[in-house]
Amino acid sequence: MQQVWTWFRHSDSGDCSLKLPSRSLAKDGCSGPLQLTTKKSYMFECEDPSGPFLMTPSQQHDADFFSWTQEQAALLRALPRGSNRLDLDNLAEEIEDMGRAEIKEISSLLRQTLTHLIKIAVDENSQAVAHWVTEATGFQSDAVLILSPGLKQRLDLPKIWKLSKRNTAVSLAEHGIAVAPLPETCPLTLDDLLDADFSPRVAAALLTSATTKSSAPRVGEGDSEA
């Protein structure tokens, strides 16, 4: 049977979209969108009147890998020690680190993507623009490839944006190029940055437009005193 993806909404964190293969739901008669009602038990309510669907650990692994790592680590720590020869504490820590590493990796890729986009926006006539476009394309593509459902809402875009601005300013200053004040809030959303049809030049143009607006003097600024 062909795998079909069904969208559902995570009630604990607002309207963040996750995906779950509906193939696994067919046998339970649940084909409609799902609503997460209990984070711990991963119980879902279907719009279909056939009843609730309980997500298995393997399905949670595919739908929200970070949460899977944290819950599996907690389950390991809760196991009785006794004659158990498993190194439970270190196993739990390694599994937790896997979830954190995924967030760190994709955050780093988005930081590098934004850094190159800012360079294009700030120094659009540079001979290095073609190289920056290539670099931004590669970093963004890698981010899309490693993104797992459920991870997007755990990314800290404001922090990524802040670090990208700082890194770009430091890098360009080494070449004698001053970076104009950039917007406090990233003009691009995570959906923009993780779009499979992402275009670095279009994204850089949006940054240029936002930078121009943020640096434009307000009405009354610069007026000489009477």
pLDDT tens profile 162-212: 999 999 999 999 989 988 889 999 999 999 999 999 999 999 999 999 887
Give Cα 74 to chain centroid, integer Å: 24
Residue in the block written with tokens 């802040």: 162
Closest CA to 10 of 136, 150, 120: 150
Ordered by start, the domain boundaries in the chain are 5-63, 104-215
- The per-residue pLDDT for 151 is 84
Tokens standing for residue 104: 């760190």
pTM of the model: 0.68
- The per-residue pLDDT for 217 is 53
Burial class (CB in 10 A: 0-12, 13-18, 19+), 73: buried
Q: 204 in helix, strand or coil? A: helix
CATH number of 104-215: 1.20.1220.20
Mean pLDDT (the chain) is: 76
- Per the CB < 8 A criterion, the answer to whether 163 and 111 are in contact is yes
- Per the CB < 8 A criterion, the answer to whether 19 and 6 are in contact is yes
Q: What is the per-residue pLDDT across 21-75, written as a single tens digit (0 to 9) for each?
A: 443 443 344 444 444 333 333 344 444 444 445 678 888 787 788 888 888 999 8
Q: What is the per-residue pLDDT across 81-94, written as a single tens digit (0 to 9) for each?
A: 877 788 888 999 99
